[in-house]
């Protein structure tokens, strides 16, 4: 590798984050179209109305179409008002902002993001997760740069349903364990080394503030703890993802926890009743046992237990036979293609048995 460029996230966070819109967006033009989820746009509109003023005029609010698929991106990009606007304001959770990022790329327009829930890092990262129109995962679609700027309004986020942050925490601390294990023993380029080091900040604030942040989200309190967790989920994870995927090979961005999730998506109950980060949080427990990090396992287990994240495959509606049946496929998934050792069926099965035994003994002890 000779020359390379890095484009990193830029963001404003706080209860009046949208007040910075005029100052930050003015150099990109005078008009914007809001593209987002219906509920998200409803939640954001009063704040955007306040922020809209002398500098930026919002031409319209457009629904993003419900799915981040290539077909939908083309449909949205044909919208005449979007074509007229100087910039795109992406409002919502992952799929809305992911769609808007693709539309911005297609129309060559700057995209600004306004996350209304804290469940993932879409608002700050330079990748969109693409699905079919039926919602089946297709591929990650990479951009050369992240959105121009993210406006993270914690007043809106603390009013949002708590399950998004709850699941988002699992997906976020997973980044630390997956990146550090995947990169173990490798000679790293500067950006990858930065990403792996930084991934510690995907876990630390979650364990320190996660429990309190969930309580505050439930009570709609915009607290210091909530902000730290929102930052870990949206900003830190995006930075790590940008750093560790810069080269695309090898992939340090995933690992055994995600392999567990993807393998289990074969069962409809996962998609129908559970959230991505929730299942990944279970996958982290398997990863840590398989990796023989038993102290870390106990720490994450305790955290899952007090926050209601899964501590057993039964918590995500999977039976022992179902779990065992996906293992031959699981060990071939690309998430664990680059790993410090070969992940075998036996290894994952033993980790699973260890987890279930451990979980049973904890629950029994709690009853006593």
Minimal distance, residue 254 CB to Zn ion, in Å: 8
Q: Which is nearer to Zn ion, 110 or 115 (CB)?
A: 115
Cβ–Cβ under 8 Å, residues 6 and 248: no
Q: Which is nearer to Zn ion, 296 or 335 (CB)?
A: 335
Q: Please report, to the nearest 10 degrees, the dihedral formed by the alpha carbons of residues 313, 318, 322, 326 taken in order.
A: -60
Minimal distance, residue 83 CB to Zn ion, in Å: 33
Beta bridge partners of 112: 89, 149
Q: Which is nearer to Zn ion, 171 or 216 (CB)?
A: 171
What angle (nearest 5°) sits at the alpha carbon of residue 18, between those of residues 81 and 43? Answer: 70
Minimal distance, residue 171 CB to Zn ion, in Å: 4
Minimal distance, residue 258 CB to Zn ion, in Å: 6
Q: Which is nearer to Zn ion, 171 or 251 (CB)?
A: 171
Over its C-alpha atoms, the chain yields an Rg (Å, rounded) of 21
Minimal distance, residue 179 CB to Zn ion, in Å: 12
Burial of 6 (0-12, 13-18, 19+ CB in 10 A): exposed
Q: Which of residues 293-312 bind Zn ion (CB under 5 A)?
A: none
Q: Which of residues 229-268 bind Zn ion (CB under 5 A)?
A: none
Minimal distance, residue 276 CB to Zn ion, in Å: 6
Cβ–Cβ under 8 Å, residues 153 and 114: yes
335 near Zn ion, judged by CB under 5 A: no
Minimal distance, residue 337 CB to Zn ion, in Å: 17
Q: Which is nearer to Zn ion, 25 or 96 (CB)?
A: 96
Number of shown-chain residues binding Zn ion (CB under 5 A): 1
Q: Please report, to the nearest 10 degrees, the dihedral formed by the alpha carbons of residues 206, 208, 209, 212 taken in order.
A: 120
Cβ–Cβ under 8 Å, residues 300 and 288: yes
How far is it, in rounded angstroms, from Cα 44 to Cα 95? 16
Q: Which of residues 115-174 bind Zn ion (CB under 5 A)?
A: 171
Q: Which is nearer to Zn ion, 47 or 173 (CB)?
A: 173
Q: Which of residues 2-31 bind Zn ion (CB under 5 A)?
A: none
Strand order in the sheet with 31-36: 11-14, 149-153, 111-115, 87-92, 31-36, 57-63
Site string for Zn ion, 165-204 (x = CB under 5 A): ------x---------------------------------
Q: Which is nearer to Zn ion, 9 or 255 (CB)?
A: 255
Minimal distance, residue 245 CB to Zn ion, in Å: 13
Q: Which is nearer to Zn ion, 178 or 216 (CB)?
A: 178
Minimal distance, residue 170 CB to Zn ion, in Å: 9
Q: Which is nearer to Zn ion, 21 or 124 (CB)?
A: 124
How far is it, in rounded angstroms, from Cα 219 to Cα 158? 8
How far is it, in rounded angstroms, from Cα 189 to Cα 196? 11
User: Which position's Cβ is nearest Zn ion?
Assistant: 171
How far is it, in rounded angstroms, from Cα 159 to Cα 148? 25
Residues lying near Zn ion in the complex (CB under 5 A) are found at: 171
């Amino acid at each position: 590798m000779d020359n390379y460029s890095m484009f990193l996230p830029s963001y404003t966070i706080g209860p009046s984050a949208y007040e910075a819109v005029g100052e930050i967006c003015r150099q990109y033009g005078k008009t914007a179209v809001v593209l987002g989820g219906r509920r998200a746009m409803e939640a954001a509109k009063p704040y955007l109305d306040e922020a809209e003023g002398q500098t930026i005029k919002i031409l319209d609010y457009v629904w993003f179409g419900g799915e981040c698929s290539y077909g939908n991106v083309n449909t949205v990009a044909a919208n005449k008002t979007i074509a007229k606007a100087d910039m795109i304001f992406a409002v919502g959770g992952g799929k809305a902002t992911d769609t808007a990022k693709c539309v911005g790329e297609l129309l060559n327009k700057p995209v600004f993001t306004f996350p209304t829930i804290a469940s993932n890092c879409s608002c700050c990262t330079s990748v969109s997760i693409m699905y079919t129109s039926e919602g089946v995962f297709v591929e990650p679609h990479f951009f050369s740069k992240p959105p121009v700027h993210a406006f993270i309004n914690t007043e809106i986020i603390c009013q949002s349903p708590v399950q998004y942050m709850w699941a988002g925490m699992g997906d976020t601390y997973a980044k630390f364990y997956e990146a550090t294990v995947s990169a173990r023993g490798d000679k790293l380029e500067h950006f990858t080394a930065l990403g792996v080091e930084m991934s510690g900040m995907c876990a630390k604030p979650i364990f320190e503030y996660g429990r309190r942040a969930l309580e505050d989200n439930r009570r709609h309190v915009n607290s210091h703890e909530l902000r730290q967790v929102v930052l870990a989920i949206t900003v830190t994870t995006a930075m790590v993802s940008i750093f560790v995927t810069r080269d695309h090979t090898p992939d340090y961005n995933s690992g055994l926890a995600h392999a567990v999730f993807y393998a289990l998506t074969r069962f409809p109950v996962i998609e129908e009743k559970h959230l991505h980060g929730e299942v990944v949080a279970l996958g982290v427990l398997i990863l840590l046992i398989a990796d023989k990090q038993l102290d870390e396992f106990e720490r994450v287990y305790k955290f899952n237990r007090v926050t209601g994240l899964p501590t057993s495959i039964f918590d995500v509606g999977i039976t022992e036979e179902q779990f065992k049946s996906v293992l031959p496929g699981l060990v071939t998934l690309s998430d664990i293609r680059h790993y410090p050792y070969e992940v075998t069926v036996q290894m994952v099965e033993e980790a699973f048995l260890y987890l279930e035994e451990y979980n049973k003994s904890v629950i029994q002890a709690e009853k006593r």
